[in-house]
Every structure is written in C-alpha cells, then in structure tokens.
Amino acid sequence: MVSAPPRTGWRVGVDIGGTFTDFVIMDPSGNLRIEKTLTTPEDLIEAIFRGLSQSGVPLAGIEYLAHGTTQGSNAVIERKGARTALVTTQGFRDVLEIRRGQRAITDPRDTYNLQKDLPQSYVGGRLPLIERRDRHEVPERVDVRGEIRIPLDEAALRGVARTLKEDRVESVAVSFLFSYLNPAHERRAGEILREELPGVPVSLSHEILPVIREYERTSTTVINAYIQPRIATYLERLESRLREQGFQGLVTLMQSHGGIMTSPRARQRPVHILESGPAAGVAAVEWLGRRTGTRHLLSLDVGGTTAKVCLVRDYHAETTTNFWIEDDHFLGIPVTDLVEIGAGGGTLARVDEGGALLVGPESAGSQPGPACYGLGGTGPTVTDANLLQGYLNPQFFLGGAMPLKPDLAARAIREALAKPLGVSLEQAARGIIQIVNANMSASIRVMSVQRGYDPRDFTLVGFGGSGPLHAAELAAGVGIPRLLFPRIPGNFSALGLLVSDLKHEAMRSFVSTTRQADPGALSRAFGELESETLGALAEQGVARRDVTLLRAADLRYMGQAHEIKVPVPGGPLRPRTVHQVERTFHRLHEQHFSYRAEEAEIEIITLRVTGLGRIPKPRERPLPQSEGASPSRARKGERMAFFEGPGKFVRTAVYDRSLLRPGHRIAGPALVEQLDTTLVLPPGSASTLDRYGNLLTRLSARPRRARRIP
Amino acid sequence: MTPRGGGARRRPSRGSRRTDPFTLEVIRGLLEAVPREMASTLKRTSFHPIFNEVNDFSCAIFDARGDMVAQSVSNPPQLGTMESSVKAAIQEIGLESLHPGDVVIHNDPYRGGNHLPDVTILMPVFHRGALVLFPANRGHHGDIGGIRPGSFAGDSTSIFQEGIRIPPLLLYQRGKLNRGVHDLLMANVRTPHYMTGDLRAQVAACETGGARIREMMNRYGAALIEEAARYAMDHSERLIRREISRWRPGTYTFEDFLDSDGIERDRPVRIRATVTVKGSSVHFDYSGSDPMVRGPVNATFGVLTSATYNAILCLTDHRIPTNHGCYRPISLTAPDGSVVNARFPAPVVGGNTETNNRITDAIWAALAPILPRRVTAADMGTTFNVSAGGPDPRTGRYYVWYLSPPGGMGARATKDGMGMVVGAKLGGFPAHISLEVFESHFPWFSHEYSIAPDSGGPGRFRGGLGVRWRISPVDHTAELTINTDRIFISPYGLFGGYPGLHGRFVVARDSGSEEGVEVGKGSFAVRPGETIFLRTPGGGGYGSPLERDPLAVLRDVRNGVVSPERAQEDYGVVLTPDGASVDAPATAALRTRLAGERHRETIFLDQGQAIYARQRFRIVALTDAPASVAEDDPGPPP
C-alpha cells in the first residue's frame, strides 16, 4: 500500500518545533505550499488540526501524513513519561543511575563545575528516568562467552511481576548483562512479564539495542519503555481524530536517523523518533542534493535558538550511535550525526567581566525575543545585529506581519556592548556577527576538516529562519565555494518528511576478527538480518521490489574501543570480499585519524543491515522560465548593508524571491527577501535560480583577511 | 613543515596598532578547538581501555615558553603538571635543538612530572622556521614496569620500584621513529602490545593538533596567533583576579590527613595548607605538612602545584577558559623534602592521586569559612586506584588493568552531593569501564556493581554516594594492587554535616578469611573463586542532618540508599510502620531530643582513633558560618 498509493491524494509533512508547527503540503498535481501555526504545547495535536484547517486541505483527500515530533524528547527532558520499572541481573540494578561515573560529558566547562546536577535521585538532582525503588533484580547471569552461569530464577521474576502490579507500573524495561550475546533469559523474562502484566508494554534490551556496554544498552531500552505509553496514546489520539474527520491515509513518523517508520511500528519502538526534528532537515538536504545532482553538501539549519550542522557525502548523512540527551541519558540507536550549538537569531550577546564579547549559548527565545521585536527584550541578540548590518528589512519581517524596531536594537547593543567595550555601535554589531559565525564555523569544521573532509568539495545549504543570513559569510570563512538556498528555507525540515523513505536498521553483535571470521557464517548472519529487515518493512506495507538493502560492519583495530562503520558488499561473502572490506577499513582509519596499522588485526564488532522502503516522492513542477537573465522585475529597491570583504557598508540591491524565475542571474552584493527569511549574497558572488526555484550561489575566490583597527 | 631558516623570529612590531578584539576572540575559539580535536583522535585510536573507556588522558597546547594556551575536557591533576613537564622538556632539550617532525616523550616526576604511568608526548610546530606552539598530551598507560602489574604499587619505597623513568627524549626525530628509545621502553613494560599502539595514538593526536595549528598559521600568521594566545591568557587572568579580589582578605588554615603511607600503617600523614588571600592574589604555604614518607604517597612539587590550581579553579567561575593566565594570581611555597615537595628518589605514584586529593581537601576546608557557598564538604578524597595483572588464560598473553571506581562528592550549600563520580577531583570526564567491556578484555567476573547504601555523609544536604563492586579472577591467579585512602579517615562534613562513609577493601579468601581490611594499600595474589570487595567512600554532609527535609529522608529510605536505622539515628526522622510516610509528630519529638543531647565529639569517635576524631571534630566545629562572612561569598556561579 505504501508502494502503490493512489496518485490523486494530498501529501502532508508536519514538523512540530518549539515555537512553530510547520507544514509542507503537496496537492495532487504536485504543487508545494507551506503553512505555519504556533505550536500548542499543552496539546500538540491542536496545532496540527489548526494548521490543516487553515490550509484548507480536505482531510479525506490526504493519502500520506508524515510527522516529526518532539513529544518523545520532551517527555524525557521534562521527566513526564510513564511510571516505568527496570528488571536487571541480580547485583546490577544501579547501572542506570551510576552510568559511567562521569559528570562532565559534552561541555568542557563542566570540568571545574562543582554545582552540576546529575540525573540522580537527590535534593537538587535531575532524577533518573527510573528511581531506585522501581529497579528490581532477579538471579540470572550470562557470561562473556554467552554461556549461562546462573539460570533465570523464574519464581523470583514472578514475584517481581507481582510487585510491579501492586505498584501499578505502566511500562517495563528488561536489561540483563551480556543479553546481546545470548538473549534467552531476556526473552523468557519478556514472556513471563507479559503473561503476568497483561497490557503493560515490555521493552527488552537485546531487541532495542543488541550491542555491548550495559549502561548504554540499558539507558536506551529504558528511554523506549519510558516514552512508550505516552507516544502510543498520542499517536492513537492523532489517528482517531484524523479518521473521525474522514482521513483514510497513512500516518508515518520521522526517525532520528532520517528514515520513516509507520505509526504502528513507532508505537512499539518510540525510541527511534526521539530526535526526529533535526533529522528531517538533513533528510531534506539529502533530497535536495539528489534533486540538483550535488553529491557533497553541508547542511546549516539555523533557527531561533540553535544552529545545526551536518555533513552529507554522496547524498548521505552519517549516523552516530553515541548520542547524549542533555548530558543525562545515553541514546545508542542511530541518530543523524550532527552538531547542534546555541547559536540562532534569538541568541544573546554579552560582555563578560574580563572584557570579552561572548555570544550564546543563552537565548532570548521567542518571549521576549530580540530587542528589535519590541516585545520587552532588552538584551542584544544576533537578530538585532543582523538588522543593524542592513540584512533585515524592518518593514518586511515575516512578510511585514511584524515590523522591527532598529532603534531598540541599537539601544540594546550600545548599552550592553559598545559602551563597556569602548567601540562604536557598528563595530559591536559586527562583533556579534563575527563571533556567532565563528561559533558556527567551528561546528562546520568539526563535521568536515576534523573528519578528514575538505570543505572545498562541499556546497553549503542554508535554511531555517536565520540560516540564509549567515551562510555566505560562513562559507567564505571555512573555504566552501558554493551555496544552495532551497525555495522554502523556513519550512524546509517539514519538506524532509515528505521526501524520505521508510527505513529499518537491524543489527547484531558478531565478535570475531576479519582473519578468523568464517565468510559462510558472516553471510548467514547478514542473511538473517536481511530477512528481519524485509519482514519489518513488509509489515509496514512495502513490497519487496521497493526495498534496497545495505550491509555494513562496525570494525576496529583489535583492542580499540571505537569502531568505524564500513560498507559490506551484498551476496554471499568470500575471502576476497572480506579483504576488500579490510582495505576499506584501513583507508577510512587513515582518513579519519592520520594513520593505518596494516599489521594489526581487525575486529568485527557489529553487523548492520539497513533496509530502505521506497516512498513516492513529490514531483515538484518546474517554474516557468524567465525571459532573460536580468532579474530587474524582481528588484524591489536597495539599501546599505555591511559586508566582510570590503569591510564596510555598501549599496546593496534587494530582490523579491517570489518574483525570481529560473534563468535569472544575480550579482552580489544582493539581498533576496522572502516571507520567512532573507538571503545575504556577498560582493563578488554570482547566483542563479534553477528550474525548481533553488538559488545556487558561487562565491569569489578572494581570501578573507583579518582586519586591524588603530 | 619544511624548515626555512633557523632561530625564532618575531615579526616586526606594528607600533601602537592592535588587533580588534573580535578577531582575537575568533582565533582564541580556534585555538580552544584544537585540544578537543586531539582528544577525540586519542580516544578513538588508542588501544588500552584506560584511554578509550576510562578517558584517563589530557590534551592541551602550549606556547614556546611552555605556558598553556588551551586545554580539552580532561583530567585536572594531569593537566596541572603538564606545564612544568613541558617546561622541563624545553629546558633540557633546548628550543634550538628541536626540529619539525620531532616528537618528545617524557614521564619523569622529578622533572616537572607527576607519576610514572602518565606519559607526556609533545610535538613542536613551526611556522616559517620559528617554533610557535606545542600540541601535547598526557595519558595514563596501563603499565610502565616496576614491581606491581599496573605500576600503581601501594608498597613501593623508591621510585625505582615504580617503573621506568623517561627523561625528555626524542621518540621521533625529524619524522622518523627513534627505534632505540622505543624498544628500550617496550622491553621494560609488561604489556608492550598495548603501549605501542597507545603511544602511536598519542602521537597521532599531536599530529592532528599540529595540522590544525599549521592551517591557522597559514591563514592568520604566527604573530596574530601569538597575540591571540596572550590575549586569552590576559583575559582569563583578569577574570580569576576579579573573583579573588571579592574574597575576604586574611589567612586561613586547615589540616587534613592521609590514612597512612602504606608502610607505616598506623601513622596518618599530615597535610597542612595555609592560604593567604590578599587583593587579587592568593598565596599557599604548606609549612607544617609532614616530612616525606617511605611509602608511595609523596607528592612532587608539580603535583602540589596541580592540586592547588585545581582547588582554585573549582572555587571560581567554571566558565572561565582555563589557560596559564588562570595560574598567574596563584603562588605557593612548601618545605623542601616534605610529603608535598618530595626529593628524589622518594616513591610518588600515589602522591599524584591520594596526596593530590588531600591537598585540595585541605584548601577547600581552609576557605570554607569565607566561601561557604562555593566549597563542598569533602568528596571521596581518593582515586581508589585498583589494578591487576596476570596471564590471560584465554590467550596466554600478559594483561594489566588499572581502574578507579566512582565514589561520592561532597554535599553543597543548597543541594546534595553528586554521587558515583570517578575520582571526584578528576574533572568529571574520566569514566569507569563498562563491565561487559571489562570482562571481554580481561579474565575477570563481576558479581555486583551497585550503590553503597548509607555511604553519603548525613547532613541538611547529604553527601554523594559511593559504590560497591565485587569481582573475581577467572581461571587464573591474578596479582592485585590497591592504592587508596579514606579507608579510616572519612571525608569531612561541613557546618554540622557528618563525614561520608569511609571506603572499604577486602580480599575474601576461599578459606572464608578476609584480608586487606586494615590496609588500603598493598598487593595480593588472588586465586580463582576468591573475591575482591571494594566500597568507595561517600561524600561528606553539609549542615545538620536534623535540618534535612524529612521528605528527602523518606525518599532516600524508599530508594534504599539510607537505612531506616540511620534515618532515625542520624537524621531524627521516624517513618510510619509501613515505611511509606514520615511520622511527623514522632520525628519532631525525636529531633528535639537529639538536638539537645547530641555530643558532637561522640559521633566521630566510633573508630576509636582519637587523632582522627580530633581532626574531624575541628571540621564539624565550623558549625555556623557567621552571617557577615556568608555575605562575602559570591555564591555559586549561575
């Protein structure tokens, strides 16, 4: 049914963000439009129906509704999930709360922070997802060879189940030591618990994340159990309300790695949709790359509070299985590998006591927002600086719905920054941009240079409300020669929901070295993972002919603790194919870490199969071609704007994006205004519009110089 | 990397022109990113779990004088001594003798270092023939030789028993491995198969840093980078001085004790810190600390410096970027030949962890009266070093592991102490090994790994909790070494808070007998079937336990981290018979009675050791900070 939907229906992508709920709607003839409503935090479903009715889309005509939601991560961050219990191997129930004994994980500034709060049950603590009294132990033990050392004490487990019943536990996670090697005990525990606790969902660690490291596996399993009842209720409510209004289509969800899963499956494995928002934006970039034939892209998604940077190579973004939620909980399922920092339009600038200008990570949010909004904010923000640099049109912000006040921006920057630093207003505004751009550049470097990729091979895609304002200067700073601005930068993430395929990833621990591994055993293991994947996709309605299977193995030099994911060819494996995989590993290791160790043995840790189930994509209709290269019809005026190259304000042409047509050429400096953002095109740049309305910009090759002031 | 011309050249001065602060801020950001990237390479390419599971390493960059420009998230005791190690290396080898492609290796505690297992690697980076910066890192190797596997002897009496000393030497010369140095080293350690790969990872991390620095040089020029480095240091110095200048001037002193040096087991070792706050500077005088001891808890001057820096950085705004500028307002003196300024060839391996901890403990308690909201009660106060080695029955190869299980941190003025943190003063990045990885790498079996109930010191705010860990060797006899402290003398409580529960270490023999209980430092042959029990100390409490919110006590009891008995005796909280709620009238009555009859002295005499009791009593005697003093305290940073 997924593979052969009626071609007459509407397709809708809904992305729920902190401030706005964004829609991208494709009508039956392939025209795209966008819609935006304010998010309704008390009940997220409200905003969905408000937006749908605002857009006038007939609910009965929608064949496909893809959804990205922060419901899961909100539940974890706000500790608003179900009353969940954990069952572990005797002696190990505290692994969840002890974690790995770290108190500074992602923020280097925590090294000397004695006031930090950890996810532990104490006065001032941030609470674990499951408190100690709800963590139970049963006698059982599997050893490092996968052999049973202590048999599962079923009577004890039934006793625990009775306690859980008395405690009215709403969800249960089971995590036994070494269950990734031998899941027999976990399986049996699952049977017993389901029998004793009918209707209570049970999450088993070997099903959620069958890999080594007990804390990491337990934490991921617990997150699944913790959010499951809430996500299930949410999805059931959403679907029943849709159906009441005549909806007959398919509801799907974006997973954290950019693939889609159907709603029934998401109710079983909600842990996969936790980070769906950032993944959707990257999925849109991958699609844009394929659409425009651009293989290597850097994705820059800048909103009100954060900037997210991701690298897309050969049309694909990498995933990571090493993700922390707020430094509190480890999430080991594949998540689109991106860097997120506190740098957006609402990010605040301040002068510290040592006289340095700092930008972020604190944000003015949408309330009170930047000073220039005139909503009571007095702290200078990045948006205030962008306004004073001449980038934003005070009369055309959100299409004129919200006039900006340059005098308030100037006052905020003068009082808080220019005066204490002893510099001019212009210099202070410029300083904010320089520093916030430096912070974002650092993220771009983390994703590119630090992993052995040369930014010169990439095209930067700027989107989100503020991405297009900063993209060109950032690109020049890190040496990216080309930029791509999608037609709908503001709702681009919601578009990602409509252009992604169904995805299922199966994995299995396979501990061996490449030298000792039996190619036959490897082939069989991959075969089993492939049938599991095909089964999962078939269950979600995908026909075999629409499935693509990809194999990979996580490898490392014997003794290392961190693996590199290496692609593995399909079909039966032979010694020759194993050698090929080894060679790829050496090459990747050298690329990432500057050396290879040909003499060392290579360990296989995990085998993975990724299944992609093709979903029909929007077939956007090309825009009508312009009559000539000159965009004079779209030119709406000019104003003074500051550019880094000349180091001063220059007269800059302003264009209306809605009037630009394929074939138009724009020479920088220029500003291109559209409803939800402004594109800043520096002097020396040359831009053209493609047939789908994407703007491709090439920067001049002139290097940037550090400026000196007397 | 090709040298062009020799000698350090400075660009001509540009008169009174200065670079705009925003450009400098941008370059500072780039400099600070370099050590972080180095750390990522080191973690991902190293071989021994001590690097890639435990994160026992630090990365930083230094200028040509050896002053630290930027550091990664890492291990403060290692970092604090890196500067003196780098300076010693520069002095001994000479800047003029260093060339592109050279890599220096160094671990000597008596040349600015801390202890032998921590090996420093540094690499000079040149621009147009002039040496500009050193990317460097220091990592704790699983074994560096000496009498005990894991090179963390609890009973060494000379540095020659602790492993191989490496003075600053060139491991690579103009890009080529110095085979002689490498092979000599490998012949003197138990697990060369790990060390070879780990050294290569350390060098790879420096190369990563070097590549990034050269890119910056090409773009901005060396002069601008040097200016940015100076700018960063001056900025951090201003911030630290501003904080210190708000502290109430005066001289404050405190003594804390180590259990023993491991050799003379009934004699505690005194650490005395006298802190003088004057203007925007702070001076430390360690006179009155014991003379150096026979066992392995002597600290080098580098370790003393490091512990002092760490203490101050934890009491100032943690957001201040850490570099050499932070150290400028700090000065210190210590008697030559004392336990905090040891003379060659005294054994030092535990000085870097145990004595380091106690120095910081003494400083924090000394400053508690003027910074009551910044300091915490005492934390676990030990790195709880435990290591083992033996032939792996699965491979026949010798293995070594060294670990430090997590314990409690001290309670704070407004909240409980963080619990289950690896080496409370190690900066929070080092981790305990995953038990599944532990059993995969080493022939050992874990029976239990859990929170230790009643380990957090009672107080209005409770100290953080320690852990219990029970392990056995599988199919072989292992040689196990313990080098810990706070087995007798518990971490102190503050302002009426009780001490945290001391640690415990036991070898449970087949015969049913127990060994090691009285020691905390030593070595044991452990046979298959025998079990090691470790319990790490909890942190001290803050404020009187009779003032703790009874509902917080109830929660602790329901979670099984405080027993009903301790709830009643220490906190004066009585629960209803079903244990589900607080019996409010009974609690009020009990608390009134306890407040009246509580003799503080008796609380601390339970171990029958008068000397310890006196010491603890003094700490508890800081019961109520005068209100005027509390007002001087800037409070915790936001």
Question: Which residue in A478, A469, A471 sits closest to A446, CA to CA?
Answer: A478
Give chain A's length: 710
Cα radius of gyration (chain B): 25
Within an 8 Å CB–CB cutoff, is residue A140 touching chain B? Answer: no
Q: Which chain B residues are Cβ-neighbours of A143 within 8 angstroms?
A: 439, 445
Out of A213-222, A617-626, A687-696, B570-579, least confident range: A617-626
Q: Using the predicted structure, report yes or no on whether residue A442 has a pLDDT greater than 80.
A: yes
**3-class secondary structure, B44:** helix
Within an 8 Å CB–CB cutoff, is residue A111 touching chain B? Answer: yes
CA dihedral of residues B617, B623, B625, B626 (deg, nearest 10) = -110
Question: Which residue in A616, A622, A464 sits closest to A22, CA to CA?
Answer: A464
In B380-423, where does DSSP find H-type helix? none
Average pLDDT score over chain B: 89
Strand partners, B531: B508
In B245-349, where does DSSP find H-type helix? 301-315, 324-327
Q: Using the predicted structure, report yes or no on whether residue B568 has a pLDDT greater than 90.
A: yes
Q: Which chain A residues are Cβ-neighbours of B416 within 8 angstroms?
A: 122-125
Residues A422-429, mean pLDDT to the nearest whole number:
94
Q: Contact at 8 Å (CB) between A89 and A178?
A: no
Cβ–Cβ below 8 Å for B20 and A108: no
* Closest CB from A131, A215, A709 relative to B559: A131
Q: Using the predicted structure, report yes or no on whether residue A709 has a pLDDT greater than 80.
A: no
Please report which confidence band the pLDDT of residue A101 belongs to, taking 50, 70 and 90 as the band edges: very high
Q: Between the CA of residue B542 and those of A217, B379, B382, B558, B622, what are the distances in Å?
A: 35, 11, 19, 22, 11
Within an 8 Å CB–CB cutoff, is residue A162 touching chain B? Answer: no
pTM, rounded to two decimals: 0.92
Return the pLDDT at B518.
Answer: 67
Cβ–Cβ below 8 Å for B415 and A431: no
Going from the N-terminus, what domains does chain A have, and what CATH number goes with each?
10-74+232-270 (3.30.420), 80-227 (3.40.50), 502-613 (3.30.1490)
Comparing B19 with B196, which gets the higher pLDDT?
A: B196
Q: Using the predicted structure, report yes or no on whether residue B630 has a pLDDT greater than 90.
A: no
d(C-alpha A170, C-alpha A147), whole Å: 32
Return the pLDDT at A485.
Answer: 97
Return the pLDDT at B187.
Answer: 98
CB neighbour list of residue B382: distance below 8 Å, 6 or more residues apart: B353, B354, B357, B407, B423, B484, B485, B486, B503, B536, B537
d(C-alpha B112, C-alpha B300), whole Å: 8
How many Å lie between the alpha carbon of A385 and the closest alpha carbon of chain B?
14
Q: What is the pLDDT of residues A28-78, one digit of tens each?
A: 887 888 888 888 888 889 999 999 999 999 999 999 999 998 888 888 988
Interface list for B 237-266 with A (CB within 8 A): 238-239, 242
* For the ranges A88-102, A345-359, B478-492, B609-623, the one whose mean pLDDT is highest: A88-102
Return the pLDDT at A7.
Answer: 52
Cβ–Cβ below 8 Å for B467 and A93: no
Return the pLDDT at B624.
Answer: 40
**Percent over 70 (pLDDT), chain B:** 90
Query: Token match 């396979």: residue?
Result: A510
d(C-alpha A514, C-alpha A511), whole Å: 10
Q: Using the predicted structure, report yes or no on whether residue A366 has a pLDDT greater than 80.
A: no
DSSP-assigned states of every residue in A213-263: -HHHHHHHHHHHHHHHHHHHHHHHHHHHHHHHTT--SEEEEE-TTS-EEEH
Query: Token match 């026979």: residue?
Result: B294
Count CB-CB contacts under 10 A for residue B609: 16
**3-class secondary structure, A556:** strand
Interface list for A 240-279 with B (CB within 8 A): none
CB neighbour list of residue A576: distance below 8 Å, 6 or more residues apart: none
Please report which confidence band the pLDDT of residue B267 belongs to, taking 50, 70 and 90 as the band edges: confident
Return the pLDDT at A701.
Answer: 57
Q: At what angle do helices B192-220 and B222-244 cross, to 10 degrees?
A: 100
Return the pLDDT at B617.
Answer: 37
Residues A136-165, mean pLDDT to the nearest whole number:
97
Q: Using the predicted structure, report yes or no on whether residue B468 has a pLDDT greater than 60.
A: yes
Q: Between the CA of residue B41 and those of A322, A488, B219, what are the distances in Å?
A: 15, 38, 23
Please report which confidence band the pLDDT of residue B464 belongs to, taking 50, 70 and 90 as the band edges: very high
Count CB-CB contacts under 10 A for residue A411: 17
Cβ–Cβ below 8 Å for A102 and B74: no
Q: Contact at 8 Å (CB) between A418 and A357?
A: no
Count CB-CB contacts under 10 A for residue A182: 17
Beta-carbon pairs below 8 A across chains A and B: 269
Out of A242-256, A582-596, B42-56, B597-611, least confident range: B597-611
Residues A170-179, mean pLDDT to the nearest whole number:
98
Q: Contact at 8 Å (CB) between A390 and A639?
A: yes
d(C-alpha B131, C-alpha B120), whole Å: 19
d(C-alpha B337, C-alpha B457), whole Å: 35
* Closest CB from B18, B22, B559 relative to A133: B559
DSSP-assigned states of every residue in A452-487: T--GGG-EEEEETTTHHHHHHHHHHHHT--EEEE-S
**3-class secondary structure, B449:** strand
Q: Which amino acid is present at A380?
A: P
Interface list for B 535-554 with A (CB within 8 A): 549, 552
Return the pLDDT at A595.
Answer: 78
Q: Which chain B residues are Cβ-neighbours of A100 within 8 angstroms?
A: 422, 431-432, 434
Q: What six digits make up the tokens of A63?
A: 């064949």
Q: How far is CA A469 from the centre of its chain?
A: 21
Q: What six digits make up the tokens of A469?
A: 């304002």
Count CB-CB contacts under 10 A for residue B145: 20
* Closest CB from B22, B37, B415 relative to A431: B22
Residues B614-630, mean pLDDT to the nearest whole number:
39
Return the pLDDT at B560.
Answer: 97
Please report which confidence band the pLDDT of residue A623 belongs to, taking 50, 70 and 90 as the band edges: confident
Q: Using the predicted structure, report yes or no on whether residue B7 has a pLDDT greater than 90.
A: no
Q: Contact at 8 Å (CB) between A470 and A462?
A: yes
Q: Using the predicted structure, report yes or no on whether residue B632 has a pLDDT greater than 70.
A: no
Q: Between the CA of residue A546 and those of A67, A259, A501, A502, B233, what are the distances in Å?
A: 22, 15, 10, 10, 60
Return the pLDDT at B532.
Answer: 96
How many Å lie between the alpha carbon of A655 and the closest alpha carbon of chain B?
31
Q: What is the pLDDT of residues B555-564, one digit of tens each?
A: 999 999 999 9
Q: What are phi and psi of A614, to 5 degrees?
A: -65, 135
* Closest CB from A105, A116, A600 relative to B418: A116
Strand partners, B333: B285
How many Å lie between the alpha carbon of B317 and the closest alpha carbon of chain A?
8
Cβ–Cβ below 8 Å for A124 and B415: yes
d(C-alpha A440, C-alpha A361), whole Å: 12
Q: Contact at 8 Å (CB) between B286 and B341?
A: yes
Out of A76-90, A112-126, B10-24, B349-363, least confident range: B10-24
Strand partners, A348: A381
User: Which of B206, B207, B418 best probes binding to A when mutated, by most A CB atoms within 10 angstroms?
Assistant: B418
Count CB-CB contacts under 10 A for residue B617: 14
Query: Token match 């033990």: residue?
Result: A141
3-class secondary structure for B51-75? HHCCCCEEEEEEECCCCEEEECCCC
Q: Contact at 8 Å (CB) between B236 and B321?
A: yes
Strand partners, A85: A172
Residues B180-195, mean pLDDT to the nearest whole number:
96
Within an 8 Å CB–CB cutoff, is residue A600 touching chain B? Answer: yes
d(C-alpha A236, C-alpha A227), whole Å: 14
Within an 8 Å CB–CB cutoff, is residue A705 touching chain B? Answer: no
Query: H-helix or E-strand containing A679?
Result: strand A677-681
Residues A365-370, mean pLDDT to the nearest whole number:
79
**3-class secondary structure, A284:** helix
Return the pLDDT at B3.
Answer: 33
Q: What is the pLDDT of residues A476-526, one digit of tens each?
A: 988 899 999 999 998 999 999 999 999 998 988 888 899 988 999 999 999
* Largest Cα–Cα separation, chain B: 85
Out of A90-104, A210-224, A435-449, least confident range: A435-449
Q: What ipTM does this complex have? A: 0.91
Residues B314-342, mean pLDDT to the nearest whole number:
96
Cβ–Cβ below 8 Å for A116 and B449: no
Q: What is the pLDDT of residues B36-66, one digit of tens each?
A: 889 989 988 898 888 888 899 999 999 999 9
Q: Contact at 8 Å (CB) between A493 and A306?
A: no
Report angle CA A447, A448, A450 to the nearest 5 degrees.
85
Interface list for A 402-431 with B (CB within 8 A): 421, 423, 427, 430-431
Q: Which chain B residues are Cβ-neighbours of A123 within 8 angstroms?
A: 415-416, 461-462, 549, 552
Report angle CA A265, A267, A270 to the nearest 5 degrees.
95
Q: What six digits make up the tokens of A260?
A: 């889609």
d(C-alpha B78, C-alpha B423), whole Å: 13
Q: What is the pLDDT of residues B377-395, one digit of tens each?
A: 999 999 999 999 999 999 8
Q: Between the CA of residue A87 and those of A96, A205, A221, what are the distances in Å?
A: 11, 11, 11
Q: Using the predicted structure, report yes or no on whether residue A560 has a pLDDT greater than 90.
A: no
Q: What six digits make up the tokens of A212?
A: 């080594």
Interface list for A 641-680 with B (CB within 8 A): none
Cβ–Cβ below 8 Å for B428 and A594: no
**By CA distance, what is B417's nearest residue in A?**
A122
Q: What six digits make up the tokens of B164?
A: 């191989």
Within an 8 Å CB–CB cutoff, is residue A166 touching chain B? Answer: no
Please report which confidence band the pLDDT of residue A321 belongs to, taking 50, 70 and 90 as the band edges: confident
Q: Which chain B residues are Cβ-neighbours of A115 within 8 angstroms?
A: 318, 412, 636-637
Strand partners, B196: none
Q: What is the pLDDT of residues A11-31, one digit of tens each?
A: 999 998 777 789 999 988 878
Q: Using the predicted structure, report yes or no on whether residue A1 has a pLDDT greater than 70.
A: no
Within an 8 Å CB–CB cutoff, is residue A216 touching chain B? Answer: yes
Comparing A681 with A211, which gets the higher pLDDT?
A: A681
**Percent over 90 (pLDDT), chain B:** 74
d(C-alpha A392, C-alpha A389), whole Å: 8
Q: How far is CA B294 from the centre of its chain?
A: 22
Question: Which residue in B341, B352, B417 sits closest to B382, CA to CA?
Answer: B352
Burial of A110 (0-12, 13-18, 19+ CB in 10 A): buried
Q: What is the pLDDT of residues A453-479, one digit of tens each?
A: 888 899 999 999 899 999 999 999 888
Q: What are phi and psi of A331, to 5 degrees?
A: -125, 115
